[in-house]
Structure 1
Amino acid sequence: MKSTTRGTLAAVITGIAAAVGATTPAAAAGTLPAPVPLEGAEQSLGVELPEIDAEVPFQAAGVPEAPRYVAGSVMPDRAVPRLPLGGTLPGLSVRAPLPHLVGDGFDHVGADLPASDLHALSPGLDMDAPLTPPDPDNFGMPGTRLPEAGVLAPVVEAVPEANLGVGPGL
């Protein structure tokens, strides 16, 4: 292998390693910080504007549940399995100036909605065929019955929280 080819290959591998290393902490945290830049509007309008910081979440799909076979049923339990989803709810932090009614100066009012864990299951389908399993008393032939179908409702679990506060200074 030529030295230029080795150098190019080393540069590509280094770039890939740097890209993976840069994205790993953000992906591990579950959210990506997204500040809202309002400094230009503050300077052009000559007023104090709120400081807004947001957190954009990453959602990750899990592994669906495997079908389970039930004795006395032709089709497996949960024919269309539910898909688990995991991630976080978006977070938001707002801090706005609050002018004094009497005198000069500012205080602040702030709201903090931190990102919180989110666990969900997509809807699923549970059904059974209109045939029974083979019956030895009927020469091994299956019998008939009414078909059964049911929808498994989606599930969402989250515990969001919020903090509201007023304090001195900006």
Structure 2
Amino acid sequence: MGITSRAGLAGVLTCIATAAAVAPAAAAPAVPVNVPLGVLNTVLPFDAPTLHTGMPLPVPGAPDGPRYVKGNLLPHNMVPALPIESALPDTHIGTPLPDPLSGGTLGTPDLVSPGTALHTVTPGADLGAPLSEPRAALFGLPAVTLPEAGLTAPAVQSAPGATATF
């Protein structure tokens, strides 16, 4: 592959990465879902509640790749954590409240949860080699050390909320 082809490919990939990074998390797509609870009318002594929500579609981000650290044979962050952006969709739950005295309804209380951004990070792994860097005291040979292993913790960040109205 020639140098001009590589430069063109690098330019296209840079544009794609920039467009993906600019997209806000709040604009993450969600599939609307209406949960059919009408079958509960045969079991409940009142009208079944209604539930309108959505299924969030996760959008993976760019992982923080392995980095070489001076003094280590293996890179830091060997299995990188993957950030995933999504949005918790709007959720509406409503049910008519029956009036036991008149047989009608008192009203329809609603529980509404507005959509919020959701940021998650998958766990990552780090591994240390059982050998140290070459040492002058050992004539350029590495020393044997205890291997080290570690995991980065997963994370979930969001600010969900809900309001109840009658």
* TM-score where L is the length of structure 1: 0.68
The aligned amino acid for 1:145 is T
In the alignment, which residue of structure 2 is the partner of 1:31?
30
Q: Structure 1 unaligned runs (5+)?
A: 1-27
Matched residue count: 136
Aligned residue runs from structure 1 range 110-125, under 5 A: 110-125=110-125
Aligned residue runs from structure 1 range 9-158, under 5 A: 28-36=27-35, 48-100=47-99, 106-158=106-158
Report the CA distance between 1:98 and its aligned residue: 1.8
Aligned partners of 2:96 and 2:105 also within 8 Å? no
Moved more, 111-120 or 93-102: 93-102
The 3 A distance-change label for structure 1 pair 38 and 70 is: closer
CA RMSD of aligned residues (A): 2.6
Aligned partners of 2:33 and 2:52 also within 8 Å? yes
The 3 A distance-change label for structure 1 pair 140 and 109 is: same
Aligned partners of 2:110 and 2:164 also within 8 Å? yes
Aligned partners of 2:90 and 2:115 also within 8 Å? yes
Aligned partners of 1:55 and 1:115 also within 8 Å? no
Find the structure with the greater CA-based Rg. 1
The aligned amino acid for 1:60 is V
Q: Structure 2 unaligned runs (5+)?
A: 1-26
The aligned amino acid for 2:60 is A
In the alignment, which residue of structure 2 is the partner of 1:23?
none
Aligned partners of 2:28 and 2:86 also within 8 Å? no
CA offsets 1:105-158 (integer angstroms, 9 cap, x no match): 541111112232211111111111011112234322111111111111111112
CA distance in 1: counterparts of 2:72 and 2:126, whole angstroms: 12
Aligned partners of 1:89 and 1:115 also within 8 Å? yes
CA distance in 1: counterparts of 2:122 and 2:39, whole angstroms: 43
Aligned partners of 2:28 and 2:87 also within 8 Å? no
